[in-house]
């Protein structure tokens, strides 16, 4: 039976990541950083990668990784979501890593696992697992083309680029022109990538299965990030409403608000079960397809709703730039498009369960 709890080791991992983020990733600093030229926190990334070896969680030990499973990666993502940490964990340590695992690209995997190299799959963040994706042209041994909405590309060292010959190519970021796009989610910005005749790119393997596997794992684990985002928003809102007084009493004592918060709690509890189920299914390989689409179809609307409610229930302060709730709302909304919308996942579910459209 699916194990939906957290093991002691997983709780220890959570505590370590949370401590680190408490010390090094305060919301106020994240806000300041988003307005600079370098929205990513590269130092934090190095600490997570060098200090804790998190970049290599999903990489087998013989390739320099930790040989852990998606269950542990999910716990890390919960905490990173709770801090809206601007680090390329999901994009490099999960998505690019899964693509490389599919291609058996040992050397590059080892580099990603050590955190010395940041890898990014050059497929738009909005792409659902199994959906079509743009490719670049391979002409006379050189890659040409433009790709958009590539998450975390501005901090990438290497891009994994699908080409029209069906191959996936490793392209050094320095060989391309990467332009940050003005992004809704300030903590996971997307970029435009131009390849103007890149020669000598290494062919890693077939793009189709690698991209499919990468996006499938991404969709499943994204639910854990969304859980972290939603959990922060609920916890913070409850805390605030116990303190905030109007009409001579804490506003959290008014039943209309208590019921809304209790309802959100129920959704977060359910999201936790769905996210755990997806992480466990990815780890064991059992019943993965349905569990992942269920988690993704459920997670996005919940994370968006909880962050929207958090903003509303904070009143005026919630609308300000200085209060971090907007970071979470923006992340939740961008996440609701990332790796396929809830509707796209429901359509996939219809196919998997024989519940076809009219």
Nearer to other proteins, 216 or 276 (CB): 276
187, with CB counted inside 10 A (0-12, 13-18, 19+), is buried
Residues 335-354 that bind other proteins (CB under 8 A): 346-347, 349-350, 353-354
Structure letter (DSSP) for residue 163: B
Size of the site for other proteins (CB under 8 A): 44
Nearer to other proteins, 278 or 311 (CB): 278
Report the alpha-carbon distance of residue 207 to residue 83 in Å, rounded.
Answer: 33
Residues 5-24 that bind other proteins (CB under 8 A): 5
Nearer to other proteins, 137 or 242 (CB): 242
User: Position of tokens 């990332």?
Assistant: 338
Phi, psi dihedral angles at 341 (to 5 degrees):
-75, 170
Least distance to other proteins, CB of residue 166, Å: 33
Nearer to other proteins, 140 or 358 (CB): 358
Phi, psi dihedral angles at 181 (to 5 degrees):
-95, 150
Q: Is 298 a binder of other proteins (CB under 8 A)?
A: yes
Alpha helices, H only, the chain: 8-24, 27-34, 42-46, 70-82, 97-103, 106-114, 207-243, 255-284, 288-314, 325-335, 342-353
Region of 81-89, 104-112, 172-180, 250-258 interacting with other proteins (CB under 8 A): 250-258
Least distance to other proteins, CB of residue 214, Å: 23
Among 238, 244, 284, 333, binds other proteins (CB under 8 A): 238
Report the alpha-carbon distance of residue 148 to residue 340 in Å, rounded.
Answer: 16
| Angular region, 171: left φ>0, alpha ψ -120 to 50, beta rest | beta
For helices 342-353 and 288-314, angle between their N-to-C axes, nearest 10 degrees: 150
**How many CA atoms lie less than 13 Å away from 189 in the CB half-sphere?**
23
Dihedral, CA atoms, 150, 154, 159, 164, nearest 10 degrees? 40
Least distance to other proteins, CB of residue 245, Å: 11
Nearer to other proteins, 331 or 345 (CB): 345
Q: Binding pattern to other proteins, positions 251-290, x when CB under 8 A?
A: -xx-x-xxx-xxx-xx--xxxxxx-xx------------x
Instruction: Provide the token pair at 357.
Output: 């459209």
Nearer to other proteins, 4 or 38 (CB): 4
Least distance to other proteins, CB of residue 253, Å: 3
Instruction: Provide the token pair at 217.
Output: 């794992």
Q: What angle do CA 234, 80, 296 make, to 5 degrees?
A: 70
Least distance to other proteins, CB of residue 317, Å: 19
Nearer to other proteins, 142 or 273 (CB): 273
Least distance to other proteins, CB of residue 258, Å: 4
Among 30, 241, 332, 338, binds other proteins (CB under 8 A): 241
Q: Is 194 a binder of other proteins (CB under 8 A)?
A: no
Report the alpha-carbon distance of residue 253 to residue 316 in Å, rounded.
Answer: 19
Report the alpha-carbon distance of residue 55 to residue 146 in Å, rounded.
Answer: 28
Least distance to other proteins, CB of residue 263, Å: 7
Run of H or E residues at 198: strand 190-199
Nearer to other proteins, 10 or 111 (CB): 10
The radius of gyration of the chain's CA atoms, rounded to the nearest angstrom, is: 20
Nearer to other proteins, 123 or 338 (CB): 338
Chain positions contacting other proteins, by CB under 8 A: 1-5, 238, 241-242, 249-250, 252-253, 255, 257-259, 261-263, 265-266, 269-274, 276-277, 290, 294-295, 297-298, 346-347, 349-350, 353-358
């Amino acid at each position: 039976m699916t194990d939906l709890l957290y093991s002691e080791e997983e709780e220890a991992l959570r505590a370590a990541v949370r401590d680190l983020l408490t010390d090094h990733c305060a919301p106020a600093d994240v806000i300041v950083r988003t307005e600079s030229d370098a929205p990513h926190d590269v130092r934090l990334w190095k600490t997570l990668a060098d200090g804790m070896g998190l970049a290599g969680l999903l990489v087998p030990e013989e390739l320099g990784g930790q040989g852990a499973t998606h269950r542990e990666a999910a716990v890390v993502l919960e905490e990173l979501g709770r801090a809206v940490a601007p680090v390329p964990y999901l994009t490099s340590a999960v998505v690019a890593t899964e693509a490389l695992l599919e291609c058996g690209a040992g050397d590059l995997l080892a580099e990603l696992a050590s955190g010395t190299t940041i890898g990014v799959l050059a497929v738009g963040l909005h792409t659902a697992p199994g959906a079509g994706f743009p490719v670049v042209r391979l002409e006379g041994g050189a890659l040409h083309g433009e790709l958009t909405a590539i998450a975390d590309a501005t901090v990438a060292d290497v891009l994994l680029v699908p080409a029209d010959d069906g191959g996936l190519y490793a392209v050094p970021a320095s060989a391309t022109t990467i332009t940050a796009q003005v992004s809704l989610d300030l903590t996971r910005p997307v970029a435009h990538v131009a390849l103007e005749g890149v020669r000598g790119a290494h062919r890693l393997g077939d793009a189709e299965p690698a991209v499919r596997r990468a996006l499938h794992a991404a969709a499943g684990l994204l639910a854990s990030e969304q859980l972290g985002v939603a959990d922060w928003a609920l916890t913070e809102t409850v805390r605030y409403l116990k303190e905030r007084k109007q009409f001579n009493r804490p506003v959290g004592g008014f039943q209309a608000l208590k019921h809304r918060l209790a309802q959100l709690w129920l959704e977060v509890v359910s999201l936790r079960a769905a996210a755990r189920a997806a992480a466990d299914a990815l780890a064991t390989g059992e019943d993965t397809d349905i569990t992942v689409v269920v988690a993704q179809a459920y997670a996005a609307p919940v994370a968006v709703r909880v962050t929207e409610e958090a903003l509303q229930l904070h009143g005026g302060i919630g609308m300000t730039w200085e209060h971090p709730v907007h970071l979470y709302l923006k992340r939740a909304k961008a996440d609701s498009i990332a790796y396929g919308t809830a509707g796209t996942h429901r359509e996939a579910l219809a196919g998997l369960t024989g519940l076809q459209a009219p």
